[in-house]
Protein backbone atom coordinates (compact mmCIF):
# COMPACT_ATOMS: atom_id res chain seq x y z
CA UNK A 1 0.00 0.00 0.00
CA UNK A 2 3.02 2.30 -0.25
CA UNK A 3 1.59 3.76 -3.49
CA UNK A 4 -1.44 4.98 -1.52
CA UNK A 5 0.98 6.66 0.87
CA UNK A 6 2.67 8.33 -2.11
CA UNK A 7 -0.73 9.61 -3.30
CA UNK A 8 -1.35 11.14 0.14
CA UNK A 9 2.07 12.86 0.10
CA UNK A 10 1.61 14.12 -3.46
CA UNK A 11 -1.84 15.57 -2.62
CA UNK A 12 -0.42 17.37 0.43
CA UNK A 13 2.45 18.73 -1.69
CA UNK A 14 0.02 19.87 -4.40
CA UNK A 15 1.77 17.85 -7.13
CA UNK A 16 -1.02 17.79 -9.70
CA UNK A 17 0.65 15.66 -12.38
CA UNK A 18 2.18 13.24 -9.89
CA UNK A 19 -1.19 12.61 -8.24
CA UNK A 20 -2.71 11.84 -11.65
CA UNK A 21 0.18 9.49 -12.55
CA UNK A 22 0.08 7.63 -9.22
CA UNK A 23 -3.71 7.32 -9.37
CA UNK A 24 -3.51 5.85 -12.88
CA UNK A 25 -0.83 3.38 -11.72
CA UNK A 26 -3.07 2.24 -8.86
CA UNK A 27 -6.02 1.82 -11.24
CA UNK A 28 -3.85 -0.18 -13.67
CA UNK A 29 -2.67 -2.35 -10.77
CA UNK A 30 -6.27 -3.25 -9.97
CA UNK A 31 -6.68 -1.21 -6.80
CA UNK A 32 -10.34 -0.57 -5.95
CA UNK A 33 -11.43 2.95 -7.02
CA UNK A 34 -13.26 3.46 -3.72
CA UNK A 35 -10.09 2.73 -1.76
CA UNK A 36 -7.95 5.03 -3.92
CA UNK A 37 -10.41 7.81 -3.13
CA UNK A 38 -11.03 7.23 0.57
CA UNK A 39 -7.52 6.23 1.61
CA UNK A 40 -5.39 8.18 -0.87
CA UNK A 41 -7.07 11.29 -2.24
CA UNK A 42 -9.39 12.05 0.67
CA UNK A 43 -6.70 10.87 3.08
CA UNK A 44 -4.36 13.52 1.70
CA UNK A 45 -6.96 16.29 1.95
CA UNK A 46 -7.71 15.26 5.54
CA UNK A 47 -4.10 16.01 6.43
CA UNK A 48 -4.30 19.31 4.52
CA UNK A 49 -7.46 20.22 6.45
CA UNK A 50 -5.81 19.54 9.80
CA UNK A 51 -2.71 21.53 8.88
CA UNK A 52 -4.83 24.42 7.61
CA UNK A 53 -6.73 24.47 10.89
CA UNK A 54 -3.45 24.51 12.81
CA UNK A 55 -2.15 27.42 10.65
CA UNK A 56 0.57 25.16 9.23
CA UNK A 57 -0.82 25.52 5.70
CA UNK A 58 -2.40 28.55 4.06
CA UNK A 59 -5.09 29.23 1.46
CA UNK A 60 -2.86 29.07 -1.68
CA UNK A 61 -1.41 25.71 -0.56
CA UNK A 62 -4.86 24.33 0.21
CA UNK A 63 -6.12 25.39 -3.23
CA UNK A 64 -3.26 23.66 -5.03
CA UNK A 65 -3.67 20.52 -2.88
CA UNK A 66 -7.37 20.48 -3.84
CA UNK A 67 -6.39 20.83 -7.49
CA UNK A 68 -4.02 17.87 -7.11
CA UNK A 69 -6.78 15.82 -5.47
CA UNK A 70 -9.14 16.64 -8.36
CA UNK A 71 -6.59 15.39 -10.89
CA UNK A 72 -6.85 11.98 -9.22
CA UNK A 73 -10.63 12.17 -8.79
CA UNK A 74 -11.07 12.82 -12.52
CA UNK A 75 -9.41 9.46 -13.23
CA UNK A 76 -11.16 7.42 -10.55
CA UNK A 77 -14.71 8.80 -10.46
CA UNK A 78 -15.81 7.41 -13.87
CA UNK A 79 -14.78 3.92 -12.67
CA UNK A 80 -17.15 3.88 -9.70
CA UNK A 81 -20.31 1.85 -10.05
CA UNK A 82 -23.61 3.38 -8.93
CA UNK A 83 -23.59 1.22 -5.84
CA UNK A 84 -20.22 2.47 -4.66
CA UNK A 85 -20.60 6.15 -5.38
CA UNK A 86 -17.90 7.94 -3.48
CA UNK A 87 -20.17 10.59 -2.03
CA UNK A 88 -20.21 10.97 1.73
CA UNK A 89 -23.33 13.11 1.31
CA UNK A 90 -24.61 16.00 -0.81
CA UNK A 91 -24.20 19.67 0.05
CA UNK A 92 -25.71 22.73 -1.62
CA UNK A 93 -23.56 25.80 -0.93
CA UNK A 94 -23.90 29.46 -1.87
CA UNK A 95 -23.32 33.08 -0.83
CA UNK A 96 -26.45 35.06 0.07
CA UNK A 97 -28.16 37.77 -1.96
CA UNK A 98 -26.30 41.08 -2.08
CA UNK A 99 -22.93 39.46 -1.32
CA UNK A 100 -20.39 38.87 -4.09
CA UNK A 101 -17.66 37.22 -2.01
CA UNK A 102 -16.68 33.71 -2.98
CA UNK A 103 -13.11 32.90 -1.88
CA UNK A 104 -14.17 31.57 1.53
CA UNK A 105 -17.10 29.69 0.03
CA UNK A 106 -14.90 28.18 -2.67
CA UNK A 107 -12.35 27.04 -0.10
CA UNK A 108 -15.06 25.41 2.01
CA UNK A 109 -16.49 23.72 -1.12
CA UNK A 110 -13.07 22.36 -2.10
CA UNK A 111 -12.38 20.99 1.36
CA UNK A 112 -15.80 19.35 1.49
CA UNK A 113 -15.16 17.77 -1.93
CA UNK A 114 -11.80 16.67 -0.61
CA UNK A 115 -13.62 14.88 2.20
CA UNK A 116 -15.73 12.96 -0.31
CA UNK A 117 -18.90 15.07 -0.33
CA UNK A 118 -20.74 15.91 -3.51
CA UNK A 119 -20.84 19.71 -3.54
CA UNK A 120 -23.34 21.69 -5.59
CA UNK A 121 -22.05 25.27 -5.61
CA UNK A 122 -24.88 27.59 -6.64
CA UNK A 123 -22.64 30.68 -6.61
CA UNK A 124 -22.83 34.19 -5.17
CA UNK A 125 -25.61 36.77 -4.70
CA UNK A 126 -28.19 33.99 -4.34
CA UNK A 127 -31.75 34.96 -3.28
CA UNK A 128 -33.49 32.82 -0.67
CA UNK A 129 -35.88 31.44 -3.32
CA UNK A 130 -32.93 30.03 -5.28
CA UNK A 131 -31.63 28.19 -2.21
CA UNK A 132 -35.12 26.67 -1.88
CA UNK A 133 -35.13 25.64 -5.56
CA UNK A 134 -31.67 24.08 -5.24
CA UNK A 135 -32.81 22.04 -2.22
CA UNK A 136 -35.93 20.80 -4.02
CA UNK A 137 -33.96 19.95 -7.14
CA UNK A 138 -30.90 18.28 -5.59
CA UNK A 139 -32.30 16.82 -2.34
CA UNK A 140 -29.08 17.56 -0.42
CA UNK A 141 -28.29 16.46 3.13
CA UNK A 142 -26.80 19.83 4.04
CA UNK A 143 -27.14 23.47 2.97
CA UNK A 144 -24.14 25.76 3.44
CA UNK A 145 -24.90 29.51 3.54
CA UNK A 146 -22.12 32.08 3.36
CA UNK A 147 -22.06 35.84 4.05
CA UNK A 148 -18.98 38.04 4.20
CA UNK A 149 -20.65 41.38 4.94
CA UNK A 150 -22.54 42.38 8.10
CA UNK A 151 -25.09 44.02 5.81
CA UNK A 152 -25.92 40.71 4.12
CA UNK A 153 -26.23 38.66 7.32
CA UNK A 154 -30.02 39.25 7.53
CA UNK A 155 -30.30 37.44 4.18
CA UNK A 156 -29.10 34.30 5.97
CA UNK A 157 -32.09 34.44 8.30
CA UNK A 158 -34.40 35.07 5.33
CA UNK A 159 -32.96 31.98 3.62
CA UNK A 160 -33.58 29.78 6.68
CA UNK A 161 -37.14 31.13 6.91
CA UNK A 162 -37.74 30.54 3.18
CA UNK A 163 -36.63 26.90 3.57
CA UNK A 164 -39.08 26.57 6.48
CA UNK A 165 -41.95 28.16 4.55
CA UNK A 166 -41.27 25.89 1.57
CA UNK A 167 -41.56 22.85 3.84
CA UNK A 168 -38.02 21.59 3.14
CA UNK A 169 -36.27 22.82 6.31
CA UNK A 170 -36.63 19.48 8.08
CA UNK A 171 -34.97 17.60 5.22
CA UNK A 172 -31.63 19.37 5.57
CA UNK A 173 -29.02 20.47 8.08
CA UNK A 174 -28.05 24.12 7.68
CA UNK A 175 -24.54 25.36 8.34
CA UNK A 176 -23.52 29.02 8.10
CA UNK A 177 -20.17 30.77 7.89
CA UNK A 178 -18.29 33.91 6.89
CA UNK A 179 -16.15 36.53 8.59
CA UNK A 180 -18.90 38.41 10.52
CA UNK A 181 -20.88 35.26 11.41
CA UNK A 182 -20.73 33.66 14.87
CA UNK A 183 -22.12 30.60 16.60
CA UNK A 184 -24.56 32.80 18.53
CA UNK A 185 -25.84 34.28 15.27
CA UNK A 186 -26.21 30.79 13.80
CA UNK A 187 -28.30 29.72 16.83
CA UNK A 188 -30.33 32.93 16.64
CA UNK A 189 -31.43 32.40 13.03
CA UNK A 190 -32.17 28.70 13.52
CA UNK A 191 -29.20 27.18 11.68
CA UNK A 192 -27.89 23.79 12.80
CA UNK A 193 -24.26 24.79 12.97
CA UNK A 194 -21.55 27.36 12.39
CA UNK A 195 -18.13 26.84 10.82
CA UNK A 196 -15.38 29.48 10.83
CA UNK A 197 -13.30 27.70 8.17
CA UNK A 198 -13.25 24.88 5.63
CA UNK A 199 -11.74 22.31 7.96
CA UNK A 200 -14.36 22.92 10.67
CA UNK A 201 -17.09 22.85 8.00
CA UNK A 202 -15.86 19.41 6.94
CA UNK A 203 -15.89 18.11 10.53
CA UNK A 204 -19.38 19.54 11.01
CA UNK A 205 -20.66 18.00 7.78
CA UNK A 206 -19.35 14.61 8.85
CA UNK A 207 -21.13 14.98 12.22
CA UNK A 208 -24.38 15.87 10.46
CA UNK A 209 -24.17 12.84 8.15
CA UNK A 210 -23.18 10.45 10.96
pLDDT in tens, 166-178: 999 999 999 999 9
Residue 30 has pLDDT above 70, yes or no: yes
Residue 78 and residue 126 share a domain: no
Tens digits of residue pLDDT in 177-192 = 999 999 999 999 999 9
Tens digits of residue pLDDT in 81-107 = 755 665 789 999 999 999 999 888 988
What is the arithmetic mean of pLDDT over 138-142?
97
Q: What is the distance between the alpha carbons of residues 120 and 140, in angstroms, rounded to a whole number?
A: 9
Q: What is the distance between the alpha carbons of residues 175 and 190, in angstroms, rounded to a whole number?
A: 10
Residue 123 and residue 56 share a domain: no
| The predicted structure's pLDDT at residue 84 | 62
Q: Which residue has the higher pLDDT, 77 or 15?
A: 15
Residue 97 and residue 57 share a domain: no
- DSSP count for the chain of H helices, then E strands: 10, 5
Last residue of a domain, one of 84, 118, 143: 84
**Sheet containing 118-126: order of strands:** 118-126, 90-96, 142-146, 173-177, 193-194
Residue 205 and residue 114 share a domain: yes
Residue 139 and residue 75 share a domain: no
What is the arithmetic mean of pLDDT over 21-29?
96
Residue 122: Cβ within 10 Å count: 18
Last residue of a domain, one of 24, 52, 84: 84
Residue 145 and residue 51 share a domain: no
The share of the chain scoring above pLDDT 90, in percent, equals: 75
For the domain that residue 201 is a member of, what is the CATH number? 3.40.50.280
Residue 10 and residue 56 share a domain: yes
Domain interval for residue 50: 2-84
| The predicted structure's pLDDT at residue 82 | 59
User: Is residue 145 a contact partner of residue 131, using CB atoms and an 8 Å limit?
Assistant: yes
Residue 209: Cβ within 10 Å count: 16
For the domain that residue 44 is a member of, what is the CATH number? 1.10.1240.10
Compute the mean pLDDT over every residue in the chain, rounded to the nearest whole number. Answer: 93
| The predicted structure's pLDDT at residue 86 | 57
User: Is residue 42 a contact partner of residue 6, using CB atoms and an 8 Å limit?
Assistant: no
What is the arithmetic mean of pLDDT over 42-50?
91
Beta bridge partners of 91: 119, 142
Q: Which residue has the higher pLDDT, 114 or 20?
A: 20
- pTM of this structure: 0.80
Which residues lie below 8 Å from residue 35, measured CB to CB, with a gap of 6+? 4
Last residue of a domain, one of 49, 84, 119: 84
Residue 143 and residue 78 share a domain: no
Amino acid sequence: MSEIKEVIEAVIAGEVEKVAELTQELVDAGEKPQEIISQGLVGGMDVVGKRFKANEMFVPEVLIAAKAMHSGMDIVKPLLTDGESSSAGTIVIGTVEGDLHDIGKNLVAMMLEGAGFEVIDIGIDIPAAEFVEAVKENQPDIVGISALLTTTMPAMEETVQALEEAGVREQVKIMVGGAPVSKDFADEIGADGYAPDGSTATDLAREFIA
